[in-house]
Chains A and B, each alone.
Chain A
């Protein structure tokens, strides 16, 4: 990416681009600081952030801002959900200082690998929060604090922090929802290819998380959860074994794609209904995702 070229192109239609950028040294400074931390992969989003600071609200279309704030809400939720299992488990921080967080996580990770995996996922969710906040700049929604959340969902998942299997079940629901939510918004980002690029790169990371959480669930219990979304045991769309999260999997059992019936496609009998369901992950519309997310947000903090 040649930023000079981009600036020159903008200069053709906006002769004051450099002046717009210059008086706002903070915009340039924060941009270059970000540039040190993130590589080319994240540049389109970072660039968007810089231009947004230079132009105010005019560079990111409001529909894109809406999508990014929606994504940001979900990333905050995911981050707090995982982070709490790490910081809510001990009264002492690693450096020996007192941990002032809510201490109510009573399950223990069965092994170091489990904790390491959750830490990896937590770190990614935090990175996504930071990336989206940076991209949105002054348009970013108010931060969601842990105190704004309720991962026991009013009692629906009362044992989320006392029973490891419940925790993993909710984690799976979060990740599979995240994958569906980003997919559902992709087309709204066509107007901003750079932002779309970044969103796609977040989307597939969430899918990797979902795959691993499903394997952690299998390892921790007696039931088997495939790394991909399959059909439920009774042929229902929800393969998670948790009826309370039916909404997360609504419509995941689609077997016709763009008019083509995937079951047995091309004369391949091996592509069964389950295989057809597994082969394509389905999107979820914003309203449905909001309903799911609101289960985990306290009154007054809901989306």
Chain B
């Protein structure tokens, strides 16, 4: 492990130099968290050859929930999944999509890309690599299939952020997660209304994701449950520790 630490530390120094113009934000973010190089190395998955975006993680990605970086990487993983889905939808929407739907799915695509890239930049050397997705079960030519998948992803995203929030120890990270989850909830409501107008906050239908209609509470699920649902769409093996 110590060898790996050294390797990663060296690599992070090199990256800081080569990506100098991009690291200002990342540095301030990490400084705020008081992260040590060792802490970063522990979170990072082993066997990573390249952090480049087009090169999926070799040997799986590890989410170590022992600290906030594990939670943020978990969010990063889910944002990768959502972004990949919407990029595909926006590039070739179902034929029956209206102009307004196309425009809003374009919007959502860029929101999810922004979330994904934000976590990637903010986590810096602590970030897991790129995940490989599996969208075999989705018919991208079918409006019904695309909308149902979008709804599932958005509701799951809300449940994931809500369930993971109390795991965070750092208030700044909690606020950042809060800034994102309400946007996911807005997406969820929009997509739900497209499927069935008025179902924007049908909390009864979200009971399996931890929602409670009589208390007016939205979905909230622990990471293990979320990942168990999400794994259908993710080829990369995700290892979870310290949950």
Contact = CB atoms under 8 A, between A and B. Distances in A.
Are A and B associated in one complex? Answer: yes
Given A116-B198, A117-B200, A215-B190, A275 B110 contact: yes
Given A186-B174, A259-B25, A281-B182, A212 B200 contact: yes
A193 B168 CA distance: 9
Contact of B25 (A125, A128, A261, A278): A261
B133 interface: no
Interface in B26-58: 26-29, 32
Q: Which of A190, A207, A272 has the most CB of B within 10 A?
A: A207
Interface size on B, as a range, is 35 or more
A183 to B, nearest CB: 4
Interface stretch (B134-142, B212-220, B235-243): B212-220
Interface in B153-191: 158, 161-163, 165-166, 168-169, 171-172, 174-176, 178-190
Contacts, number: 236
Contact of B165 (A200, A265, A275): A200
Interface in B92-124: 104, 106-107, 109-111, 113-118, 120-122
Interface string A114-150: 0011001101111110110000000000000000000
Interface of B is mostly: helix
A40 to B, nearest CB: 8
B197 interface: yes
Given A190-B171, A201-B217, A183 B179 contact: yes
B110 A268 contact: yes
Interface of A is mostly: helix
A240 B190 CA distance: 17
Interface size on A, as a range, is 35 or more
Contact of B217 (A37, A41, A262, A268): A41
Interface of A: 37-42, 113, 116-117, 120-121, 123-128, 130-131, 179, 182-183, 186-187, 190, 193-194, 196-198, 200-212, 215, 226-228, 256-262, 265-266, 268, 270-272, 275-276, 278-283
8 contacts: A131-B217, A198-B217, A200-B165, A209-B189, A226-B107, A268-B117, A275-B110, A281-B183
